[in-house]
Chains A and B, each alone.
Chain A
Amino acid sequence: MSIDLPIQLSYLVVALLFILGLKAMSSPVTARRGILWAGVGMVIATLVTFATPHMGNFGYMIVALVLGAALAAWLGRIVKMTDMPQMVAVYNGMGGGAAAAIAAVEFAKATAAASAGGALAAGAATAASAGAAVGAAGAGEGLGLAATILALLGSLIGAVAFAGSIVAFLKLQGLMKKAHRLPSQNFFVILFLAAALGLGGWIVATSLPGALGLQGWMLLAFYAVALVLGVMVTTPIGGADMPVVISLLNAFTGLAVGLEGFVLKNPALIIAGIVVGASGTLLTQLMAKAMNRKIGKIIFAPITGEALAGEAIKGTMKEASAVDVASMMRYAEKVIIVPGYGMAVAGAQHKVWELTKLLQEAGVTVKFAIHPVAGRMPGHMNVLLAEAGVPYDLIFDLEEINEEFAQADVALVIGANDVVNPSARTDKSSPIYGMPILNADHARNVICNKRGKGTGYSGIENALFYGENTRMLYGSAQAAIAEVIAGVKTML
């Protein structure tokens, strides 16, 4: 216990640093400090763990640690800001995988103990938890009942988060294009979930006194079912629902980590995991609310290709030249820019900021309106604009700015689509009906930049493009805005 106390105290400090760090991230002013505190916490936690009593295998440990950290840090450095969501999905999946693997190691120890039939091996299985008093466990009882249940739950959730995150990555990276849906998908999801729980129950039963003992194939089947379940749940989800799913999987991983923390009796894991599980759940709810979608509906009744009907939209799209757009914006009093992910993909955010500065010099008030789900994650667009140098006090949320569109002379929509689609307010048959949108159509003039005439990422027709006061500015965002900038410059 005397060696143990400094470790426990360090973990306490670590937990405090994590919580304070997350709290500091609640304001843009202190956010940077927050991640640094949490980073210090992680370094302390890692270093202190090396001093845990009865540890071995340091060679393997250091190699795996250095390789994993170096590879991920390198990827994190080079990833483009637009690809950030899939990167977060990958790291999240790794965390979930690690949680599932921890349980697998513990089970492997338990099975080894069972086959050895010795109390000695069973004791070794629990030596992982420093100071745990299970040394006298008999053959076949490596982990104990409660720990077995928690380890299985953590494994199930971790494996689902792992497989689901990989699928989310493949989708966001564009390697998996369509949202596939099995016939009677929900039935199979429930079947697999039942299979996982059933297998889990069986494994728990084997750890009871007098039972035959844990068999390796049961665990293998359990993990296989859990992984398939993760793939099945995530595969049919597409388009705009993706950010909610990543957030949900993030919460899942947190929970899985927390549960494995119980198995290992490690307070740092428990606190950090559960805090993330709870905050991730709340974040997921906030996101789903912003889209007016129920979390259950996203998973069990995702928007799919066939459902994309909606009413046919009457009217035609009217085109405007870059010079027209330039003069509209130059002589406006107030311009609201609605950026979408399309702008970021085209890499036009720097051009948009250049245009903003020009207009500001000409005395035009320019604001940015961001929908909660603009980009691939909530807040993603803010990151992309920040990267281009746009100060965050020019950027406004849906609730802050929606009333202002009526007073705006020009609303410039760049690469955004569903989040400004008035069908969400009016057309009950539209798949996005009821989703809160930015009221860009209330502005006196609406300019929509679009590459061509097709539907957007989610495949839903946009009524805004056919509006009376809407003009289409065709062309890739970067080239089109560059032309507008050239136009504005001649009018200064």
Chain B
Amino acid sequence: MVDFIYIYVFMLAAFTGYEVISRVPVILHTPLMSGSNFVHGVVLVGAMVALGAADPKDPLQIGIGVVAVFLGAANAAGGFVVTERMLSMFKSGAKKEAAK
């Protein structure tokens, strides 16, 4: 059975997610969507755990597990690269003048 404490974790995490993003300006919505897309790339960890405990003699378990790790790793790596690329482009006018 799932321990009851996890229900609390669920509830608090839900509020945290709601609060964290509620102050984000529109100009950052795309990087933010991409950034949160990166964060759920942590599914990679779950995929690794699932594959790690799979029966090496069962090709079905190993096969699906490998797919899960591949997809999770792609989600995490790709999400990071595109978010970082987008955010590194944001510059303010004031900073630009100073740089010159």
B48: nearest chain-A partner, CB-CB:
A49
Q: B61 contacts A108, CB within 8 Å?
A: yes
Contact for A35 among B45, B66, B83, CB less than 8 A: B83
Contact for A99 among B43, B61, B78, CB less than 8 A: B43
Q: A273 contacts B40, CB within 8 Å?
A: yes
Q: B62 contacts A25, CB within 8 Å?
A: no
Q: B65-90, CB under 8 A of A: which get 1 and which 0?
A: 11111111111111111111111111
How far is it, in angstroms, between the C-alpha of A359 and the C-alpha of B86 when the chains are bound? 27
Residues of A within 8 A of B78 (CB): 72-73, 75-76, 87, 90-91, 94
Main secondary structure of the interface of B (DSSP, over half): helix
A371: nearest chain-B partner, CB-CB:
B26
How far is it, in angstroms, between the C-alpha of A169 and the C-alpha of B46 when the chains are bound? 25
Q: A269 contacts B93, CB within 8 Å?
A: no
Contact for A102 among B6, B38, B50, B89, CB less than 8 A: B50
Q: Does A39 contact B (CB under 8 A)?
A: yes
How far is it, in angstroms, between the C-alpha of A250 and the C-alpha of B60 when the chains are bound? 28
Q: B53 contacts A370, CB within 8 Å?
A: no
B91: nearest chain-A partner, CB-CB:
A391
Q: B6 contacts A262, CB within 8 Å?
A: yes
Q: A92 contacts B76, CB within 8 Å?
A: no
Residues of A within 8 A of B83 (CB): 35
Determine the interface band of chain B, counting residues with CB < 8 A from chain A. 35 or more
Q: B28 contacts A379, CB within 8 Å?
A: yes
B83: nearest chain-A partner, CB-CB:
A35
Q: Does A386 contact B (CB under 8 A)?
A: yes
Q: A86-101, CB under 8 A of B: which get 1 and which 0?
A: 0110111011011101
Given contacts A22-B21, A76-B85, contact A98 B47 (CB under 8 A): yes
Among residues 51 to 110 in chain A, which have CB atoms less than 8 Å away from a CB atom of chain B? 52, 54-58, 60-61, 63-73, 75-77, 79, 81, 84-85, 87-88, 90-92, 94-95, 97-99, 101-102, 104-106, 108-109
CB distance from B82 to the nearest CB of A (A): 5
Q: Does A332 contact B (CB under 8 A)?
A: no
Q: How many A-B contacts at CB < 8 Å in the complex?
A: 422
Q: A69 contacts B13, CB within 8 Å?
A: no
Given contacts A45-B45, A102-B47, A269-B45, contact A377 B52 (CB under 8 A): no
Given contacts A264-B46, A274-B17, A391-B93, contact A64 B40 (CB under 8 A): no
CB distance from A50 to the nearest CB of B (A): 7
Residues of B within 8 A of A71 (CB): 74
Among residues 103 to 148 in chain A, which have CB atoms less than 8 Å away from a CB atom of chain B? 104-106, 108-109, 112, 121, 124-125, 127-130, 144-147
Given contacts A26-B23, A283-B21, contact A379 B9 (CB under 8 A): no
Contact for A377 among B18, B30, B74, B76, CB less than 8 A: B30
Interface centre among B16, B49, B96 (most CB of A within 10 A): B49
How far is it, in angstroms, between the C-alpha of A387 and the C-alpha of B82 when the chains are bound? 13
How far is it, in angstroms, between the C-alpha of A321 and the C-alpha of B6 when the chains are bound? 66
Residues of B within 8 A of A32 (CB): 84, 87-88, 90
A91: nearest chain-B partner, CB-CB:
B78
A36: nearest chain-B partner, CB-CB:
B84
Residues of A within 8 A of B6 (CB): 262, 265, 270
Residues of B within 8 A of A105 (CB): 50-51, 54, 61, 64-65, 68
Q: A60 contacts B62, CB within 8 Å?
A: yes
Residues of B within 8 A of A108 (CB): 54, 58, 60-61, 64
Q: B82 contacts A84, CB within 8 Å?
A: yes
Q: A98 contacts B52, CB within 8 Å?
A: no
Contact for B36 among A22, A42, A87, A286, CB less than 8 A: A22
Residues of B within 8 A of A150 (CB): 2
Residues of A within 8 A of B40 (CB): 92, 95, 250, 253-254, 257, 272-273, 276
Among residues 252 to 277 in chain A, which have CB atoms less than 8 Å away from a CB atom of chain B? 253-254, 257-258, 260-262, 264-277
Residues of B within 8 A of A254 (CB): 17, 36, 39-40
Q: Does A342 contact B (CB under 8 A)?
A: no
Known: A84-B30, A250-B40. 11 other contacts (CB 8 A): A31-B28, A61-B52, A70-B77, A97-B67, A98-B44, A98-B47, A250-B36, A271-B9, A275-B39, A277-B14, A370-B26
